[in-house]
Amino acid sequence: MESVTHNDVIILGGGPAGLTAAIYLSRARVKTLLLTEGTPGGQMTLTHEIANYPGIERINGYALGSVMKKQATSFGAVVKGNVEIGSVDLAGRVKSITTSDGQTYTADSIILAPGGRSRTLGVPGEDTFKGKGISYCATCDGDFFTGKEIVVVGGGNSALEEAVSLTKYATRVTIVHQFDHFQAFEYAVEEARSNPKISFVMSSTISSFYGNDNLEGVKIRNLVTGEETDFKTDGVFIFIGYVPNTETLKELVALNDRGEIITGPDMSTNLAGVYAAGDAVVKRYRQVTTAVADGTVAALASADYLHSLKRN
What is the rounded distance in angstroms from the CA atom of residue 177 to the CA atom of residue 218? 14
Residue 159 sits in the same domain as residue 232 = yes
Secondary structure element (H or E) that encloses residue 53, with its range: none
End-of-domain residue from the set 212, 238, 264 = 238
Contact (CB, 8 A) for 59 and 50: yes
Per-residue pLDDT reduced to its tens digit, 63-89: 999 999 999 999 999 999 999 999 999
Per-residue pLDDT reduced to its tens digit, 174-190: 999 999 999 999 999 99
Angle between helices 157-166 and 186-193 (to 10 degrees): 30
End-of-domain residue from the set 209, 238, 267 = 238
> Based on the structure, what is the number of domains in the chain?
2
Q: In the predicted model, what is the mean pLDDT of residues 28-37?
A: 97
Residue 113 sits in the same domain as residue 250 = yes
Residue 8 sits in the same domain as residue 71 = yes
What is the rounded distance in angstroms from the CA atom of residue 146 to the CA atom of residue 139? 13
Per-residue pLDDT reduced to its tens digit, 232-241: 999 999 999 8
Residue 111 sits in the same domain as residue 247 = yes
| DSSP-H helix ranges across 167-287 | 186-193
Mean pLDDT (the chain) is: 94
- Global confidence as pTM: 0.79
End-of-domain residue from the set 238, 271, 301 = 238
Residue 172 sits in the same domain as residue 220 = yes
Per-residue pLDDT reduced to its tens digit, 254-308: 999 999 999 999 999 999 999 999 999 999 888 899 999 999 999 999 999 999 9
136-140, 180-184, 206-210: range with lowest mean pLDDT: 136-140
Residue 15 sits in the same domain as residue 58 = yes
Q: Which residues are catalytic?
A: 137, 140-141
Residue 111 sits in the same domain as residue 124 = no
What is the rounded distance in angstroms from the CA atom of residue 153 to the CA atom of residue 166? 13
Residue 28's CATH number: 3.50.50.60
Q: Backbone phi, then psi, for 202, in 5-degree steps? A: -95, 165
Residue 50 sits in the same domain as residue 96 = yes
Residue 101 sits in the same domain as residue 157 = no
Residue 204 sits in the same domain as residue 293 = no
Residue 260 sits in the same domain as residue 298 = yes
Q: Is the pLDDT of residue 1 over 50?
A: no
Residue 162 sits in the same domain as residue 104 = no
Write down the pLDDT at residue 277.
98
Write down the pLDDT at residue 2.
58
Concatenate the DSSP letters of all residues of 82-114 into one string: SPPEEEEE-SSSSEEEEETTS-EEEEEEEEE--
CB-facing half-sphere around the CA of 201: CA atoms within 13 A: 21
Per the structure, the complete domain to which residue 130 belongs is given by 120-238
